[in-house]
Structure 1
């Protein structure tokens, strides 16, 4: 099956169509945001695209990225062409192409659907990482009775404890172009151990700033005299809000700033009419899971990352 360093506009359209068909049938997007954005990026040595053509359409697609001696992938098969060996052949083609280059392979299965789990286990992969999608409605949320000075007047208030900030710390909206470098510094520090988020570059940030959903007012920054301490980046699509990225600089860890930023971002969303909020968090991040659970978020679905190490035996 064809392997490409970059994709034509026509193939991108076909892959987007494939993704929409999978979403309609499965109720879950087959690819994450990073994979979709990378469809139109210029070729780089560490990224490859695999397509399974069928007449004028594409019925299977996989994208891989290598980092050092590890590779991560996402793949999907058109619902009308499943259970015919297409997914297995696509996965094996990806594995064969990588065997001489890497020592570890990882692939995401969004929604932890049984067919994906069956394929992964039959090909010798094991569950390694679980990403929770948590969700809650905004009705009944306990808002603070007062917000720190300088925060927007339209943020909701309630009967909860008044929210205060340490002396010298303030909240404000992100300024695109002015805050980019400092945001990247805090993001890298906050997610130093995270396999994807901690590797964001200026290009990754600019791509999000150029998205139709980007709202600088929804990216709330905490700072003191020494610079940025943390941020809560919210996102709204189709009326549903998301805690997109929430990060705290190590120098401000264990100060309660994470909870404050969480409330600030949720207040911004509520003030803009959002009635449902989603977020993604690693199952292994017990502190964050506990924080969100304490604020009424419940499990909506799980995404699973399957992995295997080389050498892997070829299969007939």
Structure 2
């Protein structure tokens, strides 16, 4: 099965087609945003592509990102070619190519499907991490009775407790070309122990800014005289809103800023006609899960990361 450091435009199209076929059958996207963006990137020693070709199509794909002595993998097989050993062959090819370089391999299984569980366990992987997809309808949401004076005047109001900000703190929209460094600093601090989010670079940030869904007005930032304190980055795509990234600088944690930012982002989505909102958070992040569950979010799906020691 061929391994590539970069892909041709034709192969990218075939892999995107493969992903769409998986969505049609499984109702779950097989690849996360990082893998999808990597399809279009130039060659990099940190990312490798494995494909299973068949005639003029690609029936299996695995994207591998290497970080130090560990690697993460996302893998998908065309629904018409499953149960024929394609996924197992792809996974074994990835292991064989990396076992001299890394000590840990982790594979995402989106949706926690039985077939993925069977493949992972039979190849010696253990259940290592669970990512929840949470969702709720904004109909009937208990909006606050008032917002801080620095916020937009058309945000919804209801009968809930008034929202306030810590003294000296204000909310505003992200300013492209001005806030990138501060945003990266807060993001790294807020997600210092997160295996993916905390490693974002300026290239990762700019890649998202180039996406068609990016809207600086949907990236709300909180600041005081000393700089950014937190942010709520919302996303609208396909008529669905998302709490894309919500982060609070450690110096502002425990002040209630996270809850205020959450409500502000939801209000922004509501003013843009969004009714359904979703987000992703780790099962192990009890504080975040408790915050979102308290605001009416329920678990819509679980993604599982499987891990195996190599070498």
TM-score (norm 2): 0.99
Which residue number corresponds to residue 189 of structure 2?
A: 189
Residue 260 of structure 2 corresponds to residue 287 of structure 1: no
Contact 2:166 2:257 in 1 (8 A): no
Describe how 1:1-316 pairs up with structure 2 within 5 A.
Answer: 1-311=1-311
Q: Distance in 1 between matches of 2:166 and 2:173?
A: 18
Once structures 1 and 2 are overlaid, which stretch shifts more, 161-170 or 126-135? 161-170
CA RMSD across the alignment: 0.6
Q: Distance in 2 between matches of 1:292 and 1:161?
A: 17
SS in 2 for 1:280: strand
Shift of 1:3: 0.3
Offset of 1:166 from its aligned partner? 1.3
Q: Offset of 1:269 from its aligned partner? A: 0.4
SS of structure 2 residue aligned to 1:301 = strand
Offset of residue 12 of structure 1:
0.4
Whole-angstrom distance in 2 between the partners of 1:195 and 1:256: 25
- Kindly state the Cα deviation for residue 150 of structure 1 after the two structures are TM-superposed: 2.0
Q: Per the alignment, in what secondary structure is the counterpart of residue 34 of structure 1?
A: helix
1: distance between equivalents of 2:46 and 2:100? 14
SS at match of 1:205: helix
Aligned residue pairs: how many? 311
Deviations 1:14-34 (A, max 9, x none): 000000000111000000001
SS of aligned partner of 2:278:
strand
What TM-score do you get using the length of structure 1 for normalisation? Answer: 0.98
Q: Distance in 1 between matches of 2:51 and 2:124?
A: 23
Q: Match for residue 314 of structure 1? A: none
